[in-house]
Amino acid sequence: MGGGLAGFTAYATLRHGGLAPAEIAVFGTDPDPASEWRQRAAAIRQRRMRSESDGHVAPTAFPGLAVRSAIRHRDALPLVQSLFDRYHPSVADFLEHVAEVRERSGWDASFRRRRIGAIRAVDGGFELDDAGTFAHVLMAPGHPGLAFPEGVEGDERAVHSYQPHDYAGEIEVVGAGMAAATEWLNALAAGAAVTSVRRREPERRPLNLPRELFTRRGLRGFHATSKEQRVGLLRGWSTPSYPSGRDWDEPLERARREGRFRILPELNGGQQIICATGFKRGFRNDSLLAALVDIHALETADGWIALAPDSTVPSLTDETRTLSVAGVPAQWAFPAADTLAGHKYAARRFLRRIRACRTR
């Protein structure tokens, strides 16, 4: 359930695991799995991925995007950059990769243009509206909607960074994460004067979460935490961040000296407000997840559904059926669930559950 990149990655993983297109049903609203991501990337004029060589949708880790780029362009530089975690594929290369996997995986044969409104556990699996009953279901509903600062939504000067927009002469950018930093540079390059509206300094790190959380050892430590500790960690990791380096710092410092970049804690009457404030958070902002929690009295914690380490819903998963969650709602199992690495984490464990049930 879900036709975005999380659902697409799961589909590619299942196909690699031996399932045929006729054995898989994909429910979504757009047959292009990169549609929403493409629109957001275009809105902020994103040129490079924050992810690295292994940030792809193919089911196997090798070859990564650095290897593909080196072969395509007959240039070893991407391989060298990848050795030092310096390789970041272009948006164009990533989208080309998605199109290639879509064509060879059989995605379109399994895709059904339909929005599922409710899921209910029944004998033999899970009932998805009147679309049928399935023994194994992976939910990848994506983000529940764009988040606007309180009092700003509806202001005629305001636009979200992930909505199409141009730049006025004086711009206030609310937020301090990757999208905000990208907007600072875009607006400055367009000749605008930019005010960064933020009340705390962003973290500076190459990935959206500390690198150790993408490792088995880091995850073991995370999974060993208590509910209260885990909530605190997830809240802490939700703080804004963007990479360090001259490509970010030098243009901002130059603009600051020119009087075209400043930082303020509040809006100050600019011509245009760009809300680089990401998405709404918590299962209550998603009607499908909220209904699932209420109908089945699922365990939750401060906006998260309490998942098992393998990204499944414990009370609704057993040796005969699987209910798994992928994408941003799966952060309880994998803090970086809303990344390509997180998509693969949920997908591979979903495949393991299916295989285990098939052998019984």
pLDDT digits (tens, 9 = 90+) for 75-93: 888 788 888 788 888 999 9
Query: Tens digit of pLDDT for each residue in 176-203?
Result: 999 999 999 999 999 999 999 998 999 9
The edge-to-edge listing of strands for the beta sheet with 119-122 is 119-122, 125-128, 133-134
CA distances in angstroms from 156 to 209, 272, 350, listed in the order given: 34, 9, 45
CA 203 to the chain's CA centroid = 18
Q: In the predicted model, is pLDDT for residue 359 greater than 70?
A: no
Q: In the predicted model, is pLDDT for residue 313 greater than 90?
A: yes
CA distances in angstroms from 196 to 187, 206, 247, 285, listed in the order given: 11, 21, 18, 28
Q: Residue 225 is encoded by which pair of tokens?
A: 């935490």
Average pLDDT over residues 108-136: 93
What pLDDT is attached to residue 358?
65
What pLDDT is attached to residue 56?
84
Quote the CA–CA distance of 290 and 296 in Å, as a whole number. 10
What pLDDT is attached to residue 79?
82
3-state helix, strand, coil in the chain (%, to 5): 40, 15, 45
- Name the average pLDDT for the chain: 93
Query: Tens digit of pLDDT for each residue in 236-264?
Result: 999 999 999 999 999 999 999 999 999 99
CA distances in angstroms from 85 to 88, 265, 292, listed in the order given: 8, 34, 40
Alpha helices (H) along the chain? 5-16, 35-43, 65-73, 77-83, 91-105, 107-110, 178-189, 216-223, 227-237, 246-257, 287-296, 340-358
Average pLDDT over residues 134-145: 95
What pLDDT is attached to residue 45?
94
Average pLDDT over residues 101-130: 94
Query: Tens digit of pLDDT for each residue in 6-29?
Result: 999 999 999 999 999 999 999 999
Average pLDDT over residues 301-325: 96
What pLDDT is attached to residue 9?
96
Q: Which domains, ranges and CATH numbers included, belong to the chain?
A: 5-145+284-356 (3.50.50.60), 158-202+240-275 (3.50.50)
**Cα-Cα end-to-end distance for the chain:** 25
**48 phi and psi, to 5 degrees?**
-125, 150
pTM summary value: 0.92
Query: Tens digit of pLDDT for each residue in 51-61?
Result: 877 788 888 87
What pLDDT is attached to residue 78?
78
Quote the CA–CA distance of 60 and 54 in Å, as a whole number. 9
What pLDDT is attached to residue 57?
86
CA distances in angstroms from 272 to 168, 169, 193, 268, 320, listed in the order given: 6, 8, 11, 11, 54
Q: Write the single-letter amino acid at 122.
A: V
What pLDDT is attached to residue 83?
80
Percent of the chain at pLDDT exceeding 70: 99
Would you say 49 and 6 are in contact if contact means Cβ atoms under 8 Å apart? no
Quote the CA–CA distance of 318 and 346 in Å, as a whole number. 17
Query: Tens digit of pLDDT for each residue in 198-243?
Result: 989 999 999 889 989 999 899 999 999 999 999 999 999 999 999 9
What pLDDT is attached to residue 27?
97
If pLDDT is split at 50, 70 and 90, which confidence band does 151 have? confident
